[in-house]
């Protein structure tokens, strides 16, 4: 009988719900003026811009002009927006990455490192956060942040679902308590654990408020933590049971509000998926000051919406994976049309630190309702100011807490920023830099003052000479080690700083080795006759590859991070041209006649169709041809007769052979895993390719006539660079992980010696007479010199930070200077070259 009663009750309840549902939709939609602006999913909003995806395509909708534009993509999802920057998860290239898009210019860039198919980005300013690489052993992901303004990427913590506001990152992680919501401060690098429980996920942060979903029951409920008061409250929680259907039907707890949440200002939006005595399924907004929730739009029970909010605009779509209703619409609702809200106080200032007296301009940036009154407290005991924007002078050193109360007829709110203004003592702090720290006499050095709060300067150059100029130029005439002291002066006192200048003895006859220092963005020049550094030449961003012309007069350097090639005049040790090339250039090679330069152009965004080798005309310094090769071209070498070029293709385990007369690929030769370095024997008959074979054979020997691998040679771990002796009898291979050099006898294709060198040997080259081998150790910033007659390291030189020198970095001949030494020294950055 009870079953029959339930069967009769169900149609009655369903009929009642449909009637209530229609009434609520009509009333709420009418009051809130809900508008459909497109089709898709994953909507998000910032300012007047709404972004969403539709079948992998990004849509950008301007609320002011009511225009919808698209951004081409085939597999975009989970977009995020801040001001004019978009970022989204993108698998249109076949591999997961994050795409960064500038709306005004249409420019794109990509984050490919530490990204997988679960990496969903969040953005604030120039900082992007996401998670990657789930580890089942500790049930967490790795949390990363990238600052796109300075191209740095940092692992923040172990956790997932990060969100970012200003300098704070909210995220969740698994621990012994089940789950913890944490907040990481980017500036202080401190982490606050806000709350721990069994099932808490999806944190979001705005200002001092952190919210998350607690899935203790049903669809979860929302909790909020205040970073100032350290208090946690339940925003939407009630576990008394669902009484809407009577005592015998669906009598579960009434928590159905945690499936999709977000926060902006003093408003929280969320999706309610269930019907109970506390409301029906739909889009809701919670007002933090009043602690009240109101529905924005009502949907049938079981519908999961995806709301987001900015100021008074709410945007949402339908979570299609739940399949409750057939609706792909993107909707917006402007709360300001019908409701007047109190303001959410917020402000900025033109400066946050400086020397007393410090004048600061404060600007009201409150959100929510429009403020009509403002009360500023500057924390120094002076009278408050009552204006939208206020200027205040801090006369004493100290840390000042600033607060603003913004109000209107509906109410007011207060924001307080502890230690927001830092005023320092006006004493001088001495500091300076110099364009060089060592070189050969006569050594002309530009000293640049970097002192703070100074109005007088006293320089002691250590050789008996002095200056009172702010940034003087001084010439050292004699070899020696000199202590340079700067005393910075103002009316309150003095401060000093000391550094050392080394003027070296000028000896040696070359030829020269050119060492790219990737971490310092310069090139060290080594005189191989004396094994002394004779110059430091600034080049592009992250120099890596090097090639020297046979006459030793020009050096070509690939700059990995700014996609250029620097052309160095070796007679002046000066960059005379910078050539734009494709993305991520690594290897480089010069034709024997010096007329052509060959540079790999890997296209990481389109790995199949747009990987080429670029051919540069050295007379015009322009790219004259691009030849398609394999995937991720890396290393390159030219035959002694200049008729063929060999290009290693890192990702598809091949070597491309290019005919230089026709600029066409005439053969593609399969080799081992990850081919990098390549070198050609002096007679042009054999080609040696370094492959990372994970413990198996590492050097592949190619017959250049048959275009076929004829032998493989086992070397050390992670072979990278290869060089062939001038007589063709020996091959030298760098083993990056093993910290060794393998020497191969070319007659037997056997390793005859293994020499331990520095940390992480990455580059190798041989002097033209075959007597010395130079090894670039990227892990300890040194160059090892090997005597080929004894196979022993005879010298180790310090160079710049993270040296690379991937290529033939020693010229066959000495470059002769075209100016007298005394005149030449003032035109270089690290002293002059003989």
Comparing 315 with 319, the larger pLDDT belongs to 315
Question: What is the C-alpha to C-alpha distance for residues 578 and 566, in angstroms, rounded to an integer?
Answer: 5
* 493-518: b (≥16 Cβ within 10 Å) or e: eebeeeeebebbebebebbbbbbbbb
pLDDT tens-digit profile of 637-684?
A: 999 999 999 999 998 899 999 999 999 999 999 999 999 999 999 999
Give yes or no for residue 506 having a pLDDT over 70.
Answer: no
pLDDT in the model for residue 7: 28
Q: Average pLDDT, stretch 771-798?
A: 96
Pairing of strands 438-439, 493-503: parallel
With H, G, I as helix, E, B as strand and everything else as coil, classify residue 596. Answer: strand
> pLDDT band at residue 829, thresholds of 50, 70 and 90?
very low
Give yes or no for residue 31 having a pLDDT over 60.
Answer: no
Comparing 129 with 388, the larger pLDDT belongs to 129
Residue 187 DSSP class: T
Give the count of beta carbons closer than 10 Å to the beta carbon of residue 154.
12
Q: How high does pLDDT run on average in the chain?
A: 86
pLDDT in the model for residue 564: 96
CA neighbor of 755 nearest in space, from 764, 743, 765: 743
pLDDT in the model for residue 813: 63
pLDDT in the model for residue 816: 46
> pLDDT band at residue 397, thresholds of 50, 70 and 90?
confident
CA neighbor of 750 nearest in space, from 781, 725, 779, 715: 715
Give yes or no for residue 264 having a pLDDT over 60.
Answer: yes
Question: What is the C-alpha to C-alpha distance for residues 368 and 468, in angstroms, rounded to an integer?
Answer: 56
Question: Would you state the structure tokens that stand for residue 661, as one six-digit string?
Answer: 């007369």
Question: What is the C-alpha to C-alpha distance for residues 79 and 44, in angstroms, rounded to an integer?
Answer: 7
Question: What is the C-alpha to C-alpha distance for residues 312 and 334, in angstroms, rounded to an integer?
Answer: 6
Q: Average pLDDT, stretch 35-52?
A: 94
For residue 751, the cross-strand partners are: 744
Q: Average pLDDT, stretch 808-829?
A: 49
Contacts 24+ apart (CB under 8 A), 749-753: 749/701, 749/711, 749/713, 750/713, 751/713, 751/714, 751/715, 753/791
pLDDT in the model for residue 511: 86
> pLDDT band at residue 14, thresholds of 50, 70 and 90?
very low
Question: What is the C-alpha to C-alpha distance for residues 461 and 687, in angstroms, rounded to an integer?
Answer: 54
Least confident of 30-39, 182-191, 415-424, 645-654: 30-39
Torsion-angle region of 241 (φ positive above 0: left; ψ -120 to 50: alpha; else: beta): left
Q: Which one of 243-247, 264-268, 451-455, 818-822 scores highest in mean pLDDT?
A: 264-268
Question: What is the C-alpha to C-alpha distance for residues 301 and 318, in angstroms, rounded to an integer?
Answer: 13
**Cα angle, residue 369 at apex, residues 366 and 374 outer, rounded to 5°:** 50
pLDDT in the model for residue 467: 96
Distances in Å between the Cα of 382 and the Cα atoms of 229, 392, 635 are 26, 10, 67
Length of the chain: 834
268 touches 283 (CB < 8 A): no
Question: What is the C-alpha to C-alpha distance for residues 670 and 657, in angstroms, rounded to an integer?
Answer: 11
Q: Average pLDDT, stretch 718-724?
A: 95
pLDDT in the model for residue 647: 96
Question: What is the C-alpha to C-alpha distance for residues 245 and 558, in angstroms, rounded to an integer?
Answer: 72
pLDDT in the model for residue 477: 87
Question: What is the C-alpha to C-alpha distance for residues 561 and 421, in angstroms, rounded to an integer?
Answer: 37
Comparing 406 with 680, the larger pLDDT belongs to 680
* 223-250: b (≥16 Cβ within 10 Å) or e: bbbebeeeeeeebbbbeeebebbeeeee
DSSP string, 747-767: TTTEEEEEEE-SSSEEEEEE-
CA neighbor of 823 nearest in space, from 438, 479, 444: 444
Least confident of 13-22, 121-130, 274-283, 406-415: 13-22
Place of tokens 């066959």: 812
Give yes or no for residue 517 having a pLDDT over 70.
Answer: yes
> pLDDT band at residue 33, thresholds of 50, 70 and 90?
low
pLDDT in the model for residue 370: 62
CA neighbor of 51 nearest in space, from 89, 94, 21: 89
Distances in Å between the Cα of 820 and the Cα atoms of 278, 438, 441, 555, 833 are 90, 19, 12, 21, 10
CA neighbor of 265 nearest in space, from 390, 163, 365, 410: 365
Question: What is the C-alpha to C-alpha distance for residues 148 and 100, in angstroms, rounded to an integer?
Answer: 9
- Beta-carbon-side half-sphere exposure of residue 466 (alpha carbons within 13 Å): 6
Q: Average pLDDT, stretch 314-330?
A: 78
pLDDT in the model for residue 13: 31
Cis bond upstream, residue 59 (ω within 30)? no
Least confident of 215-219, 557-561, 697-701: 215-219
257 touches 219 (CB < 8 A): yes
Q: Average pLDDT, stretch 171-196?
A: 93
pTM value is 0.43
Q: How far apart are the first and last CA of the chain?
A: 108
* 40-70: b (≥16 Cβ within 10 Å) or e: bbbbbbbeebbbbbbeebbbbbebeeeeeee
Least confident of 3-17, 124-138, 675-689: 3-17
Distances in Å between the Cα of 49 and the Cα atoms of 83, 106, 128, 310, 735 are 9, 15, 19, 10, 52
pLDDT tens-digit profile of 208-257?
A: 999 999 987 777 899 999 999 999 999 987 666 554 444 444 445 557 78
171 touches 179 (CB < 8 A): no
pLDDT in the model for residue 806: 92
364 touches 389 (CB < 8 A): yes
pLDDT over 70, % of the chain: 87
Q: List Cβ neighbours of 618 (8 Å cut-off, separation of 6 or more).
A: 554, 590, 594, 595, 596, 597
> pLDDT band at residue 487, thresholds of 50, 70 and 90?
very high
Give the count of beta carbons closer than 10 Å to the beta carbon of residue 323.
11
180 touches 195 (CB < 8 A): yes
């Amino acid at each position: 009988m009870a079953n029959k009663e339930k069967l009769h009750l169900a149609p009655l309840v369903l009929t009642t719900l449909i009637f209530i549902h229609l009434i609520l939709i009509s009333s709420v939609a009418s009051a809130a003026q809900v508008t459909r602006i497109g089709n898709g999913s994953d909507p998000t909003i910032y300012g007047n811009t709404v972004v969403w995806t539709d079948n992998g395509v990004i849509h950008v909708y301007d609320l002011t002009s009511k225009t919808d534009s698209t951004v081409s993509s085939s597999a975009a999802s989970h977009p995020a927006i801040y001001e004019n920057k978009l970022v989204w998860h993108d698998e249109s290239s076949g591999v997961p990455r994050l795409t960064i898009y500038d709306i005004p210019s249409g420019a794109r860039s990509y984050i490919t490192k530490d990204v997988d198919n679960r990496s969903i980005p969040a953005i604030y300013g120039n900082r992007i956060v996401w998670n990657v690489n789930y580890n089942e052993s500790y049930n967490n992901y790795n949390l990363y942040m990238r600052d796109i303004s300075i191209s740095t990427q940092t692992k923040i913590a172990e956790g997932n679902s990060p969100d970012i506001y200003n300098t704070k990152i909210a995220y969740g992680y698994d621990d012994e308590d089940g789950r913890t919501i944490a907040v990481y401060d980017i500036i202080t690098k401190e982490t606050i654990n806000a709350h721990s429980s069994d099932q808490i996920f999806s944190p979001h942060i705005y200002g001092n408020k952190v919210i998350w979903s607690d899935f203790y029951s049903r669809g979860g409920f929302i909790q909020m933590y205040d970073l100032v008061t350290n208090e946690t409250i339940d925003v939407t929680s009630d576990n008394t049971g669902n009484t809407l259907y009577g005592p015998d039907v669906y009598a579960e707890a009434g928590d159905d509000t945690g499936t999709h949440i977000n926060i902006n200002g003093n408003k929280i939006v969320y999706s309610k998926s269930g019907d109970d005595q506390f409301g029906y399924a739909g889009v809701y907004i919670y007002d933090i000051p009043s602690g009240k929730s109101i529905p924005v739009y009502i949907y049938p029970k079981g519908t999961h919406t995806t709301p987001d909010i900015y100021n008074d605009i709410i945007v949402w779509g339908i979570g299609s994976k739940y399949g409750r209703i057939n609706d792909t619409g993107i909707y917006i609702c402007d709360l300001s049309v019908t409701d007047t809200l109190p303001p959410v106080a917020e402000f900025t200032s033109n400066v946050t630190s400086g020397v007393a007296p410090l004048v600061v301009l404060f600007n009201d940036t409150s959100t929510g309702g429009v403020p009509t009154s403002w009360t500023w407290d500057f924390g120094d005991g002076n009278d408050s100011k009552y204006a939208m924007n206020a200027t205040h002078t801090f006369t004493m050193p100290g840390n000042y807490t600033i607060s603003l109360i913004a109000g209107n007829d509906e109410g007011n709110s207060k924001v307080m920023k502890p230690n927001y203004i830092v005023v320092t003592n006006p004493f001088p702090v001495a500091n300076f830099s110099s364009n060089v720290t060592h070189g050969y006499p006569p050594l002309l050095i530009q000293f640049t003052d970097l002192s703070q709060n100074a109005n007088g300067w006293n320089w002691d150059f250590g050789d008996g000479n002095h200056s009172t100029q702010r940034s003087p130029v001084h010439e050292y005439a004699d070899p020696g080690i000199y202590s340079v002291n700067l005393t910075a002066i103002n009316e309150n006192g003095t401060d000093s700083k000391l550094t050392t200048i080394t003027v070296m003895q000028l000896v040696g006859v070359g030829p020269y080795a050119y060492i790219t220092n990737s971490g310092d963005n310069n090139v060290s020049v080594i005189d191989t006759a004396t094994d002394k550094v004779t110059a430091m030449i600034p080049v592009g961003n992250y120099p890596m590859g090097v090639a020297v012309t046979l006459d030793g007069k020009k050096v070509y350097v690939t700059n990995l991070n700014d996609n250029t090639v620097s052309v160095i005049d070796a007679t002046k040790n000066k960059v005379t041209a910078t050539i734009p090339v494709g993305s991520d250039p690594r290897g480089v090679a010069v034709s024997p006649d010096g007329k052509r330069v060959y540079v790999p152009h890997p296209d990481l965004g389109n790995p199949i169709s747009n990987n080429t080798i670029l051919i540069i005309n050295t007379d015009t310094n322009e790219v004259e041809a691009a030849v398609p090769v394999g995937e991720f071209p890396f290393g390159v070498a030219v035959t002694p007769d200049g008729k063929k070029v060999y290009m290693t293709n890192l990702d598809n385990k091949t070597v491309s052979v290019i005919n230089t007369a026709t600029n066409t690929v005439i053969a593609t030769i399969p080799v081992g895993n990850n081919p990098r370095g390549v070198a050609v024997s002096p007679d042009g008959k054999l080609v040696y390719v370094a492959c990372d074979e994970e413990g198996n054979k590492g050097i592949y020997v190619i017959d250049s006539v048959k275009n076929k691998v004829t032998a493989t040679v086992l070397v050390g771990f992670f072979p990278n660079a290869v060089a062939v002796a001038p007589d063709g009898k020996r091959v030298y291979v760098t083993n990056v992980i093993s910290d060794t050099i393998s020497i191969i006898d070319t007659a037997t294709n056997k390793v005859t010696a293994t020499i331990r060198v520095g940390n992480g040997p990455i580059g190798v080259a041989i002097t033209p007479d075959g007597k010395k081998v130079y090894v670039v150790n990227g892990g300890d910033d040194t160059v090892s010199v090997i005597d080929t007659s004894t196979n022993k390291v005879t010298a180790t030189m310090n160079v710049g930070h993270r040296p690379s020198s991937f290529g033939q970095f020693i010229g066959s001949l000495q470059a002769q200077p075209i100016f007298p030494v005394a005149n030449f020294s003032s035109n270089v950055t690290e002293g002059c070259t003989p």
